[in-house]
A and B are shown apart, each in its own frame.
Chain A
Amino acid sequence: MALSNVLDSPAAGFNFDNAARNAAFEGLFEGGQTPKPLKTGTTIAGVVFKDGVVLGADTRATSSEVVADKMCAKIHYISPNIYCCGAGTAADTEKTTDLLSSNLTVFSLNSGRNPRVVMAVNILQDMLYRYHGQIGANLILGGVDCTGNHLYTVGPYGSVNKVPYLAMGSGDLAALGILEDGFQHDLELEKAKKLVRDAVHSGIMNDLGSGNNIDICVITAEGVDYIRPFQESEFKDRREIKYKYRQGTTPVLTKKITPLKMEVVQETTQKMETV
């Protein structure tokens, strides 16, 4: 871990610095609901195929029953050869993957090597276990490194599973049905992409929390193909009128300029020491 820490390893045990602040927050809402963390109902899936790993995700982010973002990116960059899909609390998945990505970049720079998928998994597991489920991140990590093609899932409590195909999120039961039926070892690229696309599509069709477009990310030894969107939603709205207004549409009635009076309060000069 010495080579790969952006921040120092935190001290052992829980950090309760924010407990007092959180208790004060409860008071502010006068018995009402404190804001709950945003969970994006999601369908994410991953499959190991002959030459690498295919990851897929839908692109809907919801805030209760309103679609907050129709094109949100759930496949996060970790390193040039590792990508991660995130389900669960939106902020947690975003920040956890960012931190992981920074740590692995530092590691690459320090050691001169490409990070291995198992490294990413170990760092994640370490961190999530330390927080005992308080970080609500369900992650699917996929990547290709010198030891082969790997697909792992890490749960919020820090449990790790290594499997050839996976689905996570609220739509995972629907997606898993498709994967269980269609998965075979050593699939060809196009079949693998189609399988993942079908799985995410099933999640979109059968789960209210998933929808809009489908993103696909193909990782092979040659490189990464991040296809965003792989498939656009069949039910897209077409805006009938333009919402852009040309300059001058709103007439200017009056103009008043007030210069801000700034006075010099203090001026100090320090000579730079030169050898």
Chain B
Amino acid sequence: MEVGVMKMVNKEKLNLKETELRLGLPGNDEEIMGKNLTLNSNGKRGYTETVGLKLNFSGMDQTDDQKEKNLHKEKTPAKAQVVGWPPVRSFRKNIMAVQKNESEETTDKAGMGGAAYVKVSMDGAPYLRKVDLKKYTTYQELFDALGKMFSSFTIGMMDFMNESKLIDLLNDSDYVPTYEDKDGDWMLVGDVPWKMFVESCKRLRIMKGTEAIGLAPRAMEKCKNQS
């Protein structure tokens, strides 16, 4: 990429044309525009080329080679900070720097682009799955999704929310959704507000009912009272 031409301005040989004020189009005088002009076959930039442009949106001007070059074009080092670029006001830069430092201390589940993927295992299933908790806004939505994911297995999760089925808690065929929280404890899904759950859940495990006894003391109480 050629940089603008810098001619030796020798005062004795001052080329008056250089200083001539022209209000017209660059048209026919090649010298003024120097060697950087892209010339067509007759060596001149005609009127139609300058003013009578028909915009060609198919972008066919560049060859594939040139396009490749565009990728590797010699850039001002982008990673090194160029003064004045990107054009963010210092006022804003200072604020953002402070906020970034503060937020780095309290990293939450957000990660990349605000997703919150956690592993989901289901007892007896041959493989694990992953769900993005941020995709849902309620427990019911999560259970519906999990239900679809593990549809080939017996699903008792939706029933779990239904009190009358609690009595079947200890039955082999029912499953209980549990999760491991930030402290490493295994908790029953559904006790805390949704947002709090999303923030503290590290992984999900859909347990067999028989193994879930210790996690559902309230359910146990109810069973006892009803029987």
Partners in one complex: no
**Residues on B close to A: CB < 8 A?**
none
**Residues on A close to B: CB < 8 A?**
none
